[in-house]
Structures are given as C-alpha cells and as structure tokens.
Amino acid sequence: MSKVYFTKDTGKAAELFEASGIQKIISANDLVALKIHFGEPGNTAYLKPNRVISVFEKIKALGARPFFTDCNTLYPGPRSNSIEHRKVAADHGYTDVFIPEEDDFETVPVNLKHFKSVFIGNNARKSDAIIALTHFKGHSVTGFGGAIKNLGMGFGNRKGKLKMHQECKGCPKAPTCRKNITLEACWVGSPALVQEKIAEYAYGAVKDKKCAYINFITDVSPDCDCYDHNDPPIVPDIGILASFDPVAIDQACVDLVNQTEGRIKSRNKFRALYPNVDWAVQLKYAEGIGLGTRKYELIDSGA
C-alpha cells in the first residue's frame, strides 16, 4: 500500500511537497526535471505557474537545479517544435524551460509486452530526478489524464508518441509497410492498447530515476490540455495530492473525483464522459508491470 498525501488547499503545493517528504530525494546540484504540460494556446485549464512555482523554489532552496519541461507533440501546431513550444510556455507564464529537440533522446530497454525499448527525451533521462506536476483531467482515449500519461506520452519523443498511438491492422502491405517510421500511421489504436503502451513508456521514463508525483485536481476539464479550448470543469476544485507512486496517486485522484458532486451526475465520471473507454486499463497494466500499486493510504497532510 502506497502513501498518498493530500491537501484541500490548492495554494499549498510547497507545504505538501515537504509533508510528503519529496525533499528527501533531492540532493544539492541535482538536475531536476519538472514534467508539466504547458497547455495549447487557447486552452485555459492547463496548470498555471502560480500553482507550481513554490515547488520550483523549494527545489532551488535545496541547492538543486530545477527546470520545467515537456517533449514536442506528434500532431501539427505550435508545440510540435522546440522553438514554438518554448514560446507557448513563455506566453503561459513559464520560465526556466527546456524542450529537447527530436534527436535528443535515449533508447531505453524495457522488455515489455508491446515494446522491447522506448524512445525517451533526454530531459528525463539526463536529469538526476523527475517530479511530475500533473493537471488531472479527462481524456478521450485514456478516460483520464494523470501522472502515468504525463510521464509516458509526455516524455516520449515524437517517434515514441507515434509508436504509442499506432496500431497495425495486419493489412496485406504490413510486411513492407513503412508507416511505422513515418507520420502516416494507422492510428489511433484502441483505447486499451494506447493505455498499455503509455504505461510502458512511463516505465521507461522513470527507470532507475529518483521520482515523485504531484497531481492537481483543479480545473478538471473533460478533455486534455492539448485542445485549443476547454469546457467547464466536471467537478469543483478538490485539492493537491503527492506520492512516490504514480499508480497510487492516479487511483486516488479518480476516487476523489468520483466521490465529489459535480455537473457529471455519476459515480464513474470518466466512464460517463467516455463510455467506450475503460480508464482502469492504464492502472491495472501499470501495476502489473511494476510501476506502482493501486492500493493506497490517503493521508491528510495538514497543509
């Protein structure tokens, strides 16, 4: 059973950082990747700098070197290349940002069901520690987007993102098809397949790394922050969670959302949003490959 720390006060990320003990994994001079989604231009639900800057400052005070980071998107747009991606981050209030170029990645062996190795940006692999700062929300393919998706889809380079999305249909051209190395993929795969692949990429992103996770259940939009717009939240702001276990923290977030009254009148809100998506696949599969456990103890941090 993993410990998941919780505060209802959405302005106390720094206090939760300390209460959960995350500072204990940070050493002086560590290069610390703060994995975040900067939000597509036009989207207003993304995680704002004022929510997370206190965590950045806490890490700096420990003598470490934090930076906000993400990898470029597969789909066309301003976040598909490093120059424009950095501009989006700046426009949304973020400084101390690093976005790796497409060829700045490491091939990480994982030897799992879908992938023998995964393509992970060196913003993850060359850092000493990773802290995923995640805006918890809905998602049309994975049901919800939490820490696992932030790690997996987020740290995969564009080639990796393609691999996670695509599904070969076994057509007659399959033996000679080059779609697996171009952007003309047979995509998107089934929700279950994509979720499992994302979990495998998350496994590769954090392999042999010091890691911690902070999820913000705020502005819980029905869709991903990749959209250039967003609908109203499905529940009121609930709070912030912190853990050393990405599976446990995502499970706890789902449970808290489902227990909270909101405009979606269901005790399985993400399934109500996306009836054809079983969001639990990512949690079950991530647990099965050793990424974490779905069993957790929710601890009021007192923050």
Per-residue pLDDT tens for 115-158? 999 999 999 999 999 999 999 999 999 999 999 999 999 999 99
Q: Domain residues for 8?
A: 2-300
Residue 220 binned pLDDT confidence (cut-offs 50, 70, 90): very high
Domains in the chain, number? 1
* Percent share of the chain, pLDDT over 70: 93
Q: What is the pLDDT of residue 274?
A: 97
More reliable by pLDDT, 76 or 212? 212
Indicate the pTM of the whole model: 0.94
Q: Which helix (H) or strand (E) holds 33?
A: strand 31-35
Tokens of 227: 């959209």
CATH of the domain at 6: 3.40.50.11440
The answer, yes or no, to whether residue 194 has pLDDT greater than 80, is: yes
Question: How do residues 240-250 score in pLDDT, each as one tens digit?
Answer: 999 999 999 99
**Distance between CA atoms of residues 182 and 10, nearest Å:** 42
Amino acid at 107: T
Phi, psi of 280 (to 5 degrees): -70, -15
Q: What is the pLDDT of residue 181?
A: 47
Angle between helices 147-155 and 191-206 (to 10 degrees): 80
Q: What is the pLDDT of residue 284?
A: 98
Beta strands in the chain (DSSP E): 2-7, 31-35, 65-69, 97-98, 105-109, 117-121, 129-135, 137-139, 143-145, 210-217, 239-243, 296-300
Tokens of 144: 């919800």
**Distance between CA atoms of residues 140 and 209, nearest Å:** 30
